[in-house]
Amino acid sequence: MTWLWPEMLWLLVLVPVLVGAYVILLRRKQKSALRYASLSVMKDALGASHRLRRHVPPLMFLAAFTLMILAIARPAAVVTLPSQHETVILSMDVSGSMRATDVKPSRIAAAQDAARAFVAEQPKSTRIGVVSFAATASVVQSPTHSREDILAAIERFQLQRGTAVGSGILVALKMIFPDAEFDLRSSNPRRDATRASPLDPAKATDKSDTKTVPPGSYSSAAIILLTDGQTTTGPDPIESARIAADRGVRVYTVGIGTPGGETIGSEGWSMRVRLDEQALKTIANVTQGEYFYAGTATDLQKIYKNLNTKLFFEQRETEVSALFAAAAAVLALVSGLLSLLWFNRIL
């Protein structure tokens, strides 16, 4: 436990002062009782239980006083609380590789089904936005509370050439920070993105002058990136993840497909599409998010249910002064009630 105002803890010196004052008051009462034989006889008749009981209300009041001082010092503790993720951005891969059927009925169909289930389970207070990316990334639905608009956006997906995972992250980040400026350009935009050639050496850049914060510290929004992870064009996805990390936004990655993948083709060309788990794990680690593997449509739906827990419950350091103050109030109230019940007076 930590204290936001530790300098106020010096007030605890008043506790032993009150204890000393109480002891002095008791001694005075004892001396007064000795002057009157009848009072001494009554005291003996009441017995030890009464003598002990008379100390209970003052001790409870002393405990309440101590808790109130601790509350003034503003204690903070690490507790598990619902996270205020007011905005969740679904960034979904709509590249040609999502036509693969190693996840039934296809990667894209399974992803859409799971996304719809995820949207249906979110609290009504959560705004959800949708980004799709292939060779480029675009906003399909701005963050909104309307579940109908979100589901309609997911339904509109059209598969395209190329896979720019880095752009998918940056456009999702742009939806969270509208004033930010990111460079989404590729070093070789004319290259045929449908061919399995090396990743462009382009790096994502943040043009805005923004103060860096610890990764995962921004609790008002999160990004869920669903892709097979095989980047073929656009900015480096790891660099894009670092930009998200610098702004404190977590990126939860969901890998859809199988490590072995399958061969897809059309009009005389073909390519082997495999799940690039390592890239997705790195993106999640950089942003303090988490990676999930989806080998089947059933696994994918389970992952989205698990994401509900990951997104909306987390440990954080929170001020708990109210708890101390509430406990102090209860103790003071009980102390006064017991004193009235037992002795017909308040302390």
pLDDT at position 343 is 74
Expressed in angstroms, the distance from the first to the final Cα of the chain is 32
pLDDT at position 112 is 92
pLDDT at position 192 is 37
pLDDT at position 90 is 95
**Run means of pLDDT, 10 residues per run, the chain, 347 residues:** 88 90 80 57 54 81 92 86 77 89 86 90 89 94 94 92 92 91 57 37 62 87 88 91 94 84 55 78 94 82 77 74 92 88 72
pLDDT at position 195 is 35
pLDDT at position 38 is 56
Domain extents for the chain? 2-78+318-343, 85-295
Predicted confidence (pLDDT) per residue in 204-255, tens digit: 666 666 678 999 888 889 999 999 878 888 899 999 999 999 999 999 999 8
What is the chain's length?
Answer: 347
Fold of 85-295: Rossmann fold (3.40.50)
- The answer to pTM > 0.85 is no
